[in-house]
Structure 1
Amino acid sequence: MRDMQDDDTKSPAPPPAAAAAARRAAGQAAPDASALRDRFAKLAQADTPEAATDAAAAADDEVTRIRALIDEMRPTFRRDGGDIELVRVEGAKVIVHLSGACAGCMLAGQTLYGVQKRITDVLGRPFRVIPDIRH
């Protein structure tokens, strides 16, 4: 019911001519045609096989770096009777498996936050570290 109400209150987008007239009235210039061409050229390049290969290589490099960071932290986990293992990376989600003393620890959430912060700081973009629950 709520979705229907939201749809009823939305106004349709103005036609292109009306949008252009509104921009002129507000003193705004029309979009630069060369800038639009450049933007579309960049978008077209993103669909090339080379771009896909570059993106896959970058993702593989990122997974390798995440694995190395977790391996650096493992001695600390093991010293406390636990362990951490990288299960997989799905975009910005890093799924890890906690075992040993870490599996039932009340501070596991804080520990995962520390791992998340370290990965985010080193790689320069946000990640979410999520525990994998194996039965």
Structure 2
Amino acid sequence: MIIIKERLERSECNMDIMDQVQEVLDKLRPYLQRDGGDVQLVDVEDGIVKLRLMGACGSCPSSTITLKAGIERALVEEIPGIKEVQQVF
């Protein structure tokens, strides 16, 4: 029973963090969409946010700058415990 309870608590905690990440992404999304792109939250685990850049952002040579200097910076500043953002394909 204790193990199941711990897993549920971790799952609930992860959902809270994912909700917070989604809120920040929703604030940034209009800027990405203005350039024909978008971002999708894939997962958050151990302070690492995994994102998929879509549309024009997925193939843009500046996507690394967008990811690290824009999205990662905003997430790290606004959400305690977020350490890094990784792009997944």
Fold shared, TM-score > 0.5 on shorter chain = yes
Count of residues in correspondence between the two structures: 87
Structure 2: 5+ residue runs without aligned partners?
A: none
**Distance in 1 between the 2:37 and 2:3 partners?**
45
Secondary structure of the residue that 1:125 maps to in structure 2? coil
Q: Counterpart of 1:132?
A: 88
1:78 to partner: Cα distance: 0.4
* Of 17, 20, 26, the match for 1:71: 26
Structure 2 residue matching 1:64: 3-state secondary structure: helix
Unaligned residue ranges in structure 1 (runs of 5+): 1-46
Cα 1:100/1:51, change in 2 over 3 Å = closer
TM-score norm. by structure 2 comes to 0.81
Distance 2:75 2:60 in 1: 21
**1:90 is matched with which residue?**
45
Greater strand fraction, Structure 1 or Structure 2: 2
Separation of aligned partners in 2, 1:76 and 1:48: 43
Residue 120 in 1 paired to residue 64 in 2?
Answer: no
Q: Distance in 2 between matches of 1:48 and 1:98?
A: 36
User: How far apart are the structure 1 equivalents of 2:3 and 2:56?
Assistant: 48
Query: Which has the higher relative contact order, 1 or 2, with Cα contacts under 8 A spaced 6 or more apart?
Result: 2
Instruction: For 2:71 and 2:13, locate their aligned partners in 1 and report how far apart those are by CA, in whole Å.
Output: 21
Query: Scaled by the length of structure 1, what TM-score is found?
Result: 0.56
- Equivalent residue number for residue 54 of structure 2: 99
Q: Distance in 1 between matches of 2:14 and 2:53?
A: 24
1:59 is displaced (CA, Å) by 1.8
